[in-house]
Structure 1
Amino acid sequence: MTETRENSYTGVFDGSVGFGKKPAVIVIDLIRAYTTPGEAFFAEGVVSAVRESVELLDACRQVGIPVIYTKVLYHPGGADGGLFVRKVPALRKLVAGEPMAEIDPLIPPAPDDLVITKNYPSCFFGTTLASTLFGLGVDTTILIGCSTSGCVRATAIDAIQYGFRVIVPRECVGDRHDGPHDANLFDINAKYGDVLAKAEVIDLVRALAASPARAA
């Protein structure tokens, strides 16, 4: 048999974490810097992810699933960015008052949603996210946002390390190039969580809301 990426993982990295009983959506850095043409971080894949996320967010809010947004903000001096902003100097633009640091207007936070600021790739690193999820009794994180190869992947790894199931709706994450996007979705699905079609995630959300256990 010819060795391929897919069959080399069979029997070792083809398990599933499944969908738990208390999910929350983590909206990772879907800010205007990624969706505004001409900006340093602009990526068509992220524009698509934002559009695809509208339906998913509506479905989750309709059944009372918590939605938590993250965005990146730095002190004007950049001291809280450490080596990360030295490696990626364009991040220094993301400071309070900068319009490009705000959530894309197509998916604005609702009044009951939380918005957490972060300085590094993982949504868990140096933030209150883990404590918030534990406090809400969450067992499943539905990760949407950008970039697939950066903050989404870093958050997926930390999520499973904290004991949360990881679900990634593939249409609702984006990157600046198909290569790293596809490779990281493959790797997340192999090792850290379940990468599913958006429609399947919406069906799981609605089925969970309709279950007798949830109603009780």
Structure 2
Amino acid sequence: MFSVTEELKDNYSNVFQNRIGFGRKAAVLSIDFIDFYTKPGAPFFGQGVVDAVEASVPLYAAARRAGLPVIYTKVVYDEAGSEGGMFVKKIPALRAFTADNPLAGFDARVTPEPGDIVLVKHHSSAFFGTPLSTMLRVLECDTVIVTGCSTSGCVRATAVDGVSHGFRVIVPAECVGDRHPAPHEAALFDMNAKYGDVLPVAEVMAHVEAQMAEAV
């Protein structure tokens, strides 16, 4: 089990973990909250992902009330899995992510609503091979609030690419999940150290609600 020890904190102090904060306008990213990860018995199921879905429901609702973009991603491959390239070769189970597989649909608790944006991606990052960066700039968003799964995979990859593209990255800790606590906690620590701010969802909600009040 991963744990944040005093030795680890001392090792990282004064070098990493600087806080960057929110910018002028945020968008909420919902990374791959599909049944492959949330339905018991599914090959990628993780209870931590289920918990993250439930924690994200009120955040998405608050973002919509505030007029902030809510952008969903899902993974869909052709039958041969060729769109996934080496990623699918590394993880052959991903070949099941086809459009006709019922597990490829969004979890019913966080189904996109009218006005939300849905992007299909073929690799870990929501930025790689998608128009996400351009869309965010057109929407005048300088901050991305990253939710979804898995923490150690697609969420972390999106955070790395997000900061690389010049966006402020905010990760509500309760709104991301993994199949096991160890990689989840390690990824949260790593993202907070190097790529964005990992915050309690209550703090993120407070910021979103403040933006809503400003818009009224």
Could you list the runs of 5+ residues in structure 2 that have no partner in the other structure? none
Give the percent of matched residue pairs that are identical in Structure 1 and Structure 2: 55
Q: Is the 8 A contact 1:21 1:208 kept in 2?
A: no
Which string of whole-angstrom CA distances, capped at 9 and with x for unpartnered residues, describes residues 46-100 of structure 1? 0000011101111111111100000000011111111111111111011112111
Runs of at least 4 residues of structure 1 off by over 4 A?
Answer: none
Q: Provide Cα deviations, 1:131-166, integer angstroms capped at 9, x if missing partner.
A: 111111110000000000000000000000101000
SS in 2 for 1:4: helix
Aligned pairs for 1:139-178 within 5 A? 139-178=142-181
Alignment of 1:70-109 (within 5 A): 70-109=73-112
What does residue 65 of structure 1 align with?
Answer: 68
Structure 1, 200-209 or 69-78: larger mean CA deviation: 200-209
Question: CA contact under 8 A between 1:24 and 1:68: conserved in structure 2?
Answer: yes
Under a length normalisation based on structure 2, what TM-score does the superposition of the two structures give? 0.95
* In structure 2, C-alpha distance between the alignment counterparts of 1:50 and 1:89, rounded to whole Å: 25
User: Is residue 2:120 matched to residue 1:117?
Assistant: yes
How many matched pairs? 212
Q: Is 1:23–1:142's contact at 8 Å kept on the other side of the alignment?
A: yes
Deviation by residue 1:177-213 (Cα, 9 ceiling, x = unmatched): 11110011011001000000001000011112323xx
Aligned residue for 2:109, secondary structure, equals coil
Please report the RMSD computed on the Cα atoms of aligned residues, expressed in angstroms.
Answer: 1.2
Unpaired segments ≥5 residues, structure 1: none
Quote the Cα distance in structure 2 between the aligned partners of 1:31 and 1:66: 19
Give 2:203's aligned residue.
200
- 1:18 maps to a residue whose letter is G
